[in-house]
Amino acid sequence: MPLSTKSVVISGYYGFDNLGDEAILEQLCHELREIDPGIKICVLSQNPESTSKKYDVESISRWSVTAIYNALSACDLFISGGGGLFQDSSSIKSVVYYAFLFFLARLKRVPIFVYAQGIGPLRSSISHFLTKASMSLAACICVRDKKSQLILKRWNLDSYLTADPVWALSTNVDSKDNCDTNRGAVADPDKKLKIGLSLRQCDVLDESWLETISSQLKKSLPPKCILVPLVLQESLDKPVLDILIKSLDNFEIEQINLKPDDLPSLWLSSISKLDMMVAMRLHAAIMALKSGVATLALAYDPKVATVAKDFAQPYIEMKNPDSKKIFESKLLELLENTKELEQKAKKTASDKEKDARQNKELLAKFLK
């Protein structure tokens, strides 16, 4: 078989040890190699050395304009990777950066493929203008949710509604964690339940919220259970999880033997062995629900609530002034209806995986 001459450049929030974005990249690289085993992949990264080693790709600094320009000069397709890249939740910097890459790709006359993105929130008029201008340059746009597609429709831009690529990610058989492969509630009624905890620093998760979570876990969880803290991005997750775990010193704690920079498919394998999940992070919820793990979603962001609604799982809108008052009832719903919630998750996950596989089908059309 002749070697491939195809080459792609991928941009996204890579090299920051954010498990969700890294999971998207792992799946994207897998899909590209299924389409074309010899394809050359170049990833823009905050940590090129780590990215190159982890995914067996070429990687360059996301801040080197010269290197990016040269890479675009030699590629067949520029892929704007999944996740929420065009948003100004904290600042406009993200929008400006990714818009610049779109304009640079257009300057080099490289086709642009938008891969399963979520668009927004776009609070400022500048963010709105730059995002619309960027998307108008794309040869193909895939979005992961209906809200993003509606935004594009208002701009008279066509798009494909697919799904987050992580729904199609496969578990890694080389998982290094200590978790038993059988869920306690299913295999042995006397086995301790393993409950995953995913928190992340943000404005809404204040001291009062941490106290509420701690007190309700103490009140409602069975005495024989194991809590598994999930540090999916060390800088944002570990500080708040450490505070929570310290307050739950009467429970058995099990640390997963993985680091945030390990392959996301290893994390998926570990999360799939939990009995239930309490999750703030979107991709903690996605990995759990993909595996049929009943999940209570702490929705600090609308995208987390959307996933919980799609899967008919209990969720709490954390920004709602009365949200702390319903934490206990939602936690009890998770504990008392685990089997039913698992079945709902499995059924919907199958549909989501089919939607996510459209990303690869559309990519293949651009790499013939």
pLDDT digits (tens, 9 = 90+) for 341-366: 999 999 999 999 999 999 999 999 98
Q: How many H helices and E strands in the chain?
A: 15, 13
pLDDT of 95: 97
Rounded to 10°, the helix 234-247/207-220 angle is 50
User: Do 231 and 157 share a structural domain?
Assistant: no
Question: CA torsion, points 70, 75, 81, 87, in degrees to nearest 10?
Answer: 50
Round the average pLDDT of the chain to a whole number and report it.
93
Asked if residue 188 is part of any domain, the answer here is: yes
* DSSP 8-class letter at 83: B
Q: What is the pLDDT of residue 257?
A: 87
pLDDT at 174: 58
147 & 188 share domain: no
Q: Are residues 142 and 108 in contact, defined by beta-carbon separation less than 8 angstroms?
A: no
φ, ψ of residue 77 in degrees (nearest 5): -155, 135
In the numeric block, the tokens 């300057």 are attached to 107
Task: Tell me what percent of the residues of the chain surpass a pLDDT of 90.
Answer: 86
Give φ, ψ of 11 to 5 degrees: -120, 155
Q: What is the mean pLDDT of residues 306-333?
A: 95
Query: Which residues have a Cβ under 8 Å from the Cβ of 174 and sit 6 or more positions away?
Result: 266
Helix (H, G, I), strand (E, B) or coil at 362: helix
Number of domains, the chain = 2
Examine the domain organization and report whether 335 and 198 are in the same domain.
yes
**Residue that is written with structure tokens 């929420």 in the block:** 84
* Residue 368 maps to a domain: no
Q: What is the residue range of 48's domain?
A: 7-161
Residue 222 and residue 295 in one domain: yes
Residues 120 and 51 in one domain: yes
pLDDT tens for 320-340 read 989 999 999 999 999 999 999
Residue 178 counted as domain residue: no
85 and 213 part of one domain: no
**Which residues on neighbouring strands pair with residue 229, listed in sequence order?**
197
Q: Does 278 reside within a domain? A: yes
Amino acid 162 reads T
CB within 8 Å of 92: residues ≥ 6 apart: 124, 126, 127
DSSP-derived 3-state class of residue 194 = strand
Report the sign of the C-alpha dihedral through residues 122, 127, 132, 135, in that order: negative
Question: 255 in a domain, yes or no?
Answer: yes
Co-location of 271 and 135 in the same domain: no
Which CATH number covers residue 125? 3.40.50.2000
Q: In this structure, are 102 and 189 located in the same domain? A: no
Q: What is residue 167's DSSP assignment?
A: G
| The token pair that represents 146 in the structure block | 């209906």
Q: What is the pLDDT of residues 147-186, one digit of tens each?
A: 999 999 999 999 999 999 999 999 875 555 544 444 544 4
Distance separating alpha carbons of residues 161 and 151, to the nearest angstrom: 12
At which residue do the structure tokens 């050359």 appear?
Answer: 40
Tokens of 254: 């099990």
The residue to which tokens 């994390």 are assigned: 267
Given phi > 0 = left and psi -120 to 50 = alpha, else beta, which region is 364? alpha
C-alpha distances (whole Å) from 136 to each of 69, 141, 156, 337, 364 are 21, 9, 9, 46, 21
Asked whether residue 120 falls in the same domain as residue 266, the answer is no
Terminal CA-to-CA distance of the chain, rounded, Å? 15
Calculate the CA 311 to chain-centre distance.
16
Do 150 and 216 fall into the same domain?
Answer: no
Q: Are residues 33 and 85 in the same domain?
A: yes
Helix (H, G, I), strand (E, B) or coil at 298: strand
- In degrees, rounded to 5, the angle at the alpha carbon of residue 234 between the alpha carbons of residues 229 and 237 is 50
In a domain, 359, yes or no: no
Sheet holding 58-61, edge to edge: 58-61, 40-45, 7-11, 77-80, 112-117, 140-143, 160-161
Q: Is residue 296 in a domain?
A: yes
Using one digit for the tens of pLDDT, what is the confidence trace for 188-219? 566 789 999 999 999 999 999 999 999 999 99
The verdict on residue 336 lying in a domain is yes
Same domain (yes/no): 53, 124: yes
Element of type H or E holding 127: helix 125-135
pLDDT at 274 over 80: yes
